[in-house]
Structure formats: C-alpha cells, structure tokens
Chain A
Amino acid sequence: MKFLDEFRNSDLTGKYLQAIKATIRQPWTIMEICGGQTHSILKYGLDQMLPDEITLLHGPGCPVCVTPIELIDMAIGIAGQPNVILCTFGDMMRVPGSDGNLLDARARGNDIRMVYSPLESLKIAENNPDKRIVFFGIGFETTAPTTALALKKAKKNRFDNYFVLSAHVRVPPAIELILSSPENRVQAFLAAGHVCTVMGYREYIPIAENFHVPIVVTGFEPVDILQGICMAINQLERGAAAVENQYSRVVSENGNSMARKLIDEVFETTSRKWRGIGEIAGGGLSIKPDYAAYDAARVFGPVVAKVEESPRCLSGKVLRGLIKPPECPAFAVDCSPANPLGAPMVSAEGACAAYYNYSISRQGPIGG
C-alpha cells in the first residue's frame, strides 16, 4: 500500500538506526505518547534494534486505557436501559468496568454494537427511530472531530434519538502532568502524529520551552519512529529543546482548521479523570450546552458507580512511564489479556497488552 510499505522498508530503518548509533553519546530517555506508536515499536521489535543507551518509555496515549471507570460503568448502565442501542469502538468492549465489561453486558442481552466510525452509529439512529442510540465517544483529539461531525449532523437532521457519551481526552495537559511530576524521567517526547494532524503542534511549543524538552511530532510506521527518535537524539545531544515535525507529510503547524472548528463548535475543555492517573485539569472534552439535548451524560443522568479498581494494577505507573509492563509483579502472572487487572492489558494499544502479545522478552516479572 502506498505511503505505508515505503515506511516499513528495512534498508531505510537500517540507515536511521546507523544514524542514531552514530549520533548518540550518552543515555537518554524518550517517551512515545501514542499507543499506536507503542504498538508499532513492539510489533516490529524496534526496541530490540535501538542501542542500549536509549530507554523508551510508553506514554498514556491510549484513550481506551485512560477512559475513567465511571464512564464505562455509565455506558454499561445506559446500555441496560430499555430501547437503547449502545455503539462503541471495538477496542472498548473488553475494558473492565467496576462489574464486568461491555462484552459481558452484551452477553446479558443488551444491544451493544461495534462500529468503525461514529457516523455509522448515526446511521443506526436514522434506521431505528423508535430506539435511543448512544455513541460512546472515546478518543483523543484525532477522534473528537468525527464525534463532533456526528453530533452536528444529528442536530441538522433532527435525529432526536441520537446521543453521545463523551469520554474524549486531550493530550497536552497529560504531557504537562508527566513533566511536572518529581518522578519524571522523560527527556524527550515523540508526540502523537495523528492528534497533531488535527490540532497542529502549536500547543507543544510552550511546553518544550518551559520544560526544556525536545518534542518531535512523529508518525507510526517503523521508518517514522526511527526518524523521530533520530531527530530527538540529535536535539538532546545538542542541548536543544524545540518542537520538530517528523510527520510532515501529514502534519502542519496549524493542523486541520476545519476539524478544529468543528471540535470548538461542539465541545468544551473540561477537567477529566484519567484512569490510573487521576484528575487532569483541561484533560477532557465535554459537550457544549448548545448540544445538550444530545449529551448522554445530561440526558441519562449521573451514575453512582461503586468504583472498584484492582489494587494490584499498576497501570497508573505504566501510563506515566514510571515502570515498564514487565516490571509489574502481576504482569503475565496474574494479569494477562484473558484476565486483565486493568485497562492497558486489555486495549490493543495498551502498553501491557503490546508487551504481552509481541515482546520476545516477555518472561514475566524481573528475575522470574
């Protein structure tokens, strides 16, 4: 496939690897933000190729992983109401709520459907006027415009049986939180390429300046990631701390202005709890009052969740890059995709699942 295969070329990855090895003089710790990048790194074994001086930490860029348990409980609760069809992305189905996940809820007979796009859920609303269709809107800023589009179309076409439960989250506040923490080890970031496709990268310039960290907007294929790492190492060795754009074939400084306009029309910034991490000011997107009639959170009311997270799950530390999944005592012992203690082991993009499914070094806890 064009614009994919070329970026998986082994000659090119080899060349960037040589360049990294030739440039690096001391150990550096780099965090890739996006779960898709983590997935790619582990699937292609890029971590095996990199010199030992580079420590790769995996960031919280898995919206499925960071969706607060309260919202999952709420989605399950809504799905259990009469005449409701709950629509969600596939990877959300297995994430544990307080009492089971959406797959379990479907097994109990609730109408829960997987969709590839929120626009499909809108079609379901059009075709089922006697039902209430609720779309579980998870995702970062990349996905927010698609949810916003569905809401705008719903309003335009007066699909009054369509609702969105917004669990959308924003990346920049999470980066600031990580960098502000006294335990922070991250020295450079690979920023999420598709988030920046929508939002541009202006928001990251003050972050790079204030915290003096290089931030390289990076794509997802092996060549992209290695080039991104190469650019980050180059900055680190020179003591630079700027925002650079590796993924320039798709990302521009201002992003997609129409998409951003759509987000602004429908959503407003809000404080949001990130599962495993805690409340992040400005870390979420909620639906504006203009679209209140389509806001599932308002229409279906609050859910009093008996929140029960496993005390053994260290997902918060994994998401902040403080430990790697194999360093968790439960990894591959009590915690696996079949029996996940937390979200990062369930989502296909979660760091724990990626290590479990791909990594040749998956042997269980250190020393085990």
Chain B
Amino acid sequence: MKKQPDNRAVPMSAPACPVPPTNYENILLAHGGGGKLTADLIEKLFLPAFGDPALDERHDGAEINIGRIRLAMTTDSFVVTPLFFPGGDIGRLAVYGTLNDLAMCGARPLFLSAAFIIEEGLPLKTVHQVADSMGKAAKSSGIRLITGDTKVIERKSGNDLFVTTTGIGIIEHGLKISPQSIMKGDKIILSGDIGRHGTAVMACREGFEFETTIESDCAPLWNQVEIMLRENIEIHCLRDLTRGGLATALVEIAETSGLRLEIEESLIPVSDQVAGACEILGLDPLYVANEGRFICFVPEKQAGAAIGLLRQSAPNAAIIGQATDTPKKDYSNIRVVMKTPLGTSRIIDRITGDQLPRIC
C-alpha cells in the first residue's frame, strides 16, 4: 500500500472507521499469530478498506476467471526466526507455503514471484543459502520462479530476512473447492500428525535438546491433492494448517461454512516427541503451527477412498470428524466441538494471540 504524501489534505471522503477495529492502539505480535487478533485485523480493518467480493470467500487464495480458464492466485509473507531450523528454512517455507495455498484451492501451482526484504549486515552467505533452498524447492515441485524484487533496510539486529512469495496456479477440475461447498455429513480428513513445525521452531529457539530432533513438517502438498482429484474424489474444501494450528483452521472453516464441525481427540495423530515437548511447555498441540499438513472435506461415501489414497504417502492420515448442522438449541458461539478421550465434549475456539508457554 502506498503511503500518502504528508502534505496532502485529507479529502472529505477519507475512510473513517466509526468503530475502532480493536481495543489496541498499536500492533502486537499477536496480530500476526493467526488467532483472534489476526481475524479482527482482517475483518475489521483490511476487508472494509479493500472491499472486494473475492476477499469475502475468506479462503487462502483467490480464483480468477479469464474466459474459460480458471486461475488461482495467492500471496504470503515469511518472517520466521530462526531462518534455519530442523527440517527447513525460510526459503523452503516461502516456496512450499505459497505452493500449498494454491494446492488448497485445488490449483496446480505454475508460477511464483519472490520479494526479499533484507537487513543490512546479514551475511551474504545466509542469503545465498536461502536462495539456493528456494531454487531447489521450486525445481523439485515443478513450479517456475519467474520474477521478484529485493530491498535492503537499515541494520537493526543484523539477523533479519523477510520473503514474500506470490503464486499463480491453474484449476483444471470442475469443483468449487471452498468452505461454502462443505455439506452436512462431509467427513473431515487430516493428512498427518500435527504440531511438528511450531514445536521444531520453538525448540530450536528455546534450546531444547532432543533424542531425535523434532523436524518441521515443511513440505509441498499438491501431489496429495492431485492424486485425490485424479481419482475423482469430490473434494469440497481444503485448508492447510499453518499458524494457529488445526484448531484455528477448523474454526475458520466452520464460521465461513456456517456448519458445526465435530471431531474426536483420540483420532488426531500427535507424535510422541511433539506430545512430550508440548507437555513440558504447557502447549496444546491443536494450536501449534504446522507446515506440511492439511484438512480436507469430502462426502461421507468417498471418505474411505480418500483416506486410502492419502495413506499411500502419509500413513498417519486420519478421518477425525464430520460436518453437521448447528443444532436447534442455540450454542451460537460454538462452531467446533471436540469429543475427549473420556467421552465428554469441549469446545474448540480461536485463542487470543499466540499460545504462550505456561508455568501454571
């Protein structure tokens, strides 16, 4: 967004928000956390400012129709620290992250752009490693990185590099893959175990040692989606799990689709290492970031076939629940319900801000 020149008088029709978007004066880190504050920022500040119907889909990518060609477009910024972590680095994340957003629209990824903001003082060797990683990730995924930009900003900590990637893909099937396509009775399939990326990054930052290192699950998802499309699985919705974890993805989809989602805790795969790390820090794996996992909504009668296809490459894939109507009794705030291993139920909602390690 271009900055207004300082000497320009504010026109009469300048946007003025009658209701402050949040109660906060300044941006907090939590506004980028993927939880409630991020949602507020988008809903109450950005969407009204841009006012485009495509944004109302609230999906990771936007569909563009040009004649009979259906394209998908998406963009994402990557600000992870540390830049290198077990299982990945910011470069790989930047390529796969955007590729995956396209895959989640059911689009075959075709082209990528990459914009860099680099802090003065960052070793060139680091930039080289990141670029190299991006090149390899792009080539191995069959996507072409065709344009980009570079900016250098003043030295702050000498550590920072930010990447924004924008991707374009082509939609070659007739489905409309979006939360609005989900129907009552659809099964919810999870493509693998959760919590690796966030735990790996936090462990690396906090200096945990591991017997076997927890690795980020940073990986491309198009192949798994393509297999299902090719076998005529009628995919209703896809969503990759990133910041905010499985829980946040479910809540967002439930809200947009207007349906209630019911899941079972005992069906959700979590690796021993992630479980152990989360116990120590007091984190809930449901809310921990992932990078190579998605959920998919398919008609009940195709769920068995879909899970069979996914398990060819991901033995941990699991059917974790289903979409239902909101019941007559008005639990109006409650969109996602989880059955605990003890048979009781608890709600799943967005959390405010980042999940913080706790002592209590």
Interface of A with B (CB < 8 Å)? 1, 4, 8, 10, 13, 35-36, 42-46, 48-49, 62-64, 89-91, 93-94, 103-104, 106-108, 114, 116, 138-139, 143, 222, 332, 336-339, 347-349, 356-360, 362-364
Query: By the criterion CB–CB under 8 Å, are A10 and B341 in contact?
Result: yes
* Minimum C-beta distance from B79 to chain A (A): 16
Q: In the complex, what's the smallest C-beta–C-beta distance from A81 to chain B, in angstroms?
A: 21
Residues in B whose Cβ lies below 8 Å from that of A44: 340, 342, 344, 346
In the complex the two chains form, is B282's CB within 8 Å of A348's CB? Answer: yes
Q: Within the complex, which residue of A8, A337, A362 is in contact with B352, where a contact is CB–CB below 8 Å?
A: A337
Q: Could you tell me the distance between the alpha carbons of A202 and B358 in the complex, rounded to whole angstroms?
A: 28
Chain A residues within 8 Å of B28, by CB: 103-104, 107
Task: Across the interface, name the chain B residue whose C-beta is closest to A139.
Answer: B359
Q: How far is it, in angstroms, between the C-alpha of A270 and the C-alpha of B357 when the chains are bound?
A: 29
Chain A residues in 8 Å Cβ range of B275: 1
Tell me if B26 counts as interface (CB < 8 A to partner A). yes
Number of interface residues of B (CB under 8 A): 39
Question: B interface, by DSSP: helix, strand, loop or mixed?
Answer: loop
Q: Which residue of A lies closest to B345 (CB)?
A: A360
Contact of B360 among A46, A348, A360, A363 (CB under 8 A): A348
* B244-286 interface (Cβ within 8 A of A): 272, 275-276, 279-282
Given A4-B279, A107-B26: A62 touches B360 (CB 8 Å cut-off): yes
Nearest B residue (CB) for A49: B344
Query: At the interface, yes or no: B229 with Cβ under 8 Å from chain A?
Result: no
CA distance A363 to B27 in the complex (A): 30
Cα-based distance from A1 to B275 in the complex (angstroms): 8
Q: A93-B356, A347-B360 are in contact. Are A116 and B281 (CB under 8 A)?
A: yes
How many Å lie between the Cα of A73 and that of B36 in the bound state?
26
CB within 8 Å for A360 and B346 given contacts A1-B279, A103-B28, A103-B29? yes
Assembled-state Cα–Cα distance A57/B53 (Å): 49
Query: Chain A nearest CB: distance from B328 CB in Å?
Result: 14
Q: Are A1 and B360 in contact (CB under 8 A)?
A: no
Q: CA of A347 to CA of B62 in the docked complex: distance in angstroms?
A: 38
Q: B346, A107: Cβ atoms under 8 Å?
A: no
Answer whether A357 and B351 are a contact pair too, CB < 8 Å, given A62-B360, A89-B359, A348-B360. yes
Can you name 27 A-B residue pairings with CB atoms under 8 Å?
A4-B279, A44-B344, A45-B340, A45-B342, A45-B346, A46-B342, A48-B344, A103-B28, A104-B26, A104-B28, A106-B29, A107-B26, A114-B356, A143-B359, A336-B352, A338-B37, A347-B360, A348-B282, A348-B360, A356-B349, A357-B347, A359-B347, A360-B331, A360-B334, A360-B347, A363-B330, A363-B331
Tell me whether A91 and B352 are in contact in the complex, defined as CB-CB below 8 angstroms, given that A1-B276, A116-B206, A360-B347 are known contacts.
Answer: no
B5 within 8 A of A: no
Contact B342 A90 (CB under 8 A): no
Residue of B nearest to A347 (CB): B360
| Cβ–Cβ contact A42 & B359, under 8 A | no
Q: Which 7 A-B pairs have the closest CB atoms?
A: A45-B344, A90-B356, A349-B360, A89-B359, A337-B352, A91-B358, A90-B357
Q: Is the CB of A91 within 8 A of B356?
A: yes
Contact of B337 among A10, A35, A46, A360 (CB under 8 A): A360
Q: Are B357 and A114 in contact (CB under 8 A)?
A: yes
| A27 CB → nearest B CB, Å | 21
Residue of B nearest to A143 (CB): B359
Answer whether residue B11 sits at the interface, using C-beta atoms and an 8 A cutoff.
no
Name, among B279, B334, B349, B358, the residue most crowded by chain A CB atoms within 10 Å (CB to CB): B358
Contact of B333 among A10, A114, A337, A363 (CB under 8 A): A363
Would you call B18 an interface residue if the criterion is a C-beta within 8 Å of the partner chain's C-beta atoms?
no
* B window 31-85: CB within 8 A of A: 36-37, 40
A1 to B277, CA, bound (A): 11
CB atoms of A13 and B342 under 8 A apart: yes
Give the chain B neighbours of A357 by CB distance below 8 A. Answer: 347, 349, 351
Give the residues in chain A near B340, CB-CB below 8 Å: 43-45
Q: How far is the CA of A364 from the CA of B333 in the complex (A)?
A: 10
Q: CB-nearest residue of chain A relative to B284?
A: A43
A49, B351: Cα distance in complex, Å: 25
Residues from chain A with a CB closer than 8 A to the CB of B272 are 1
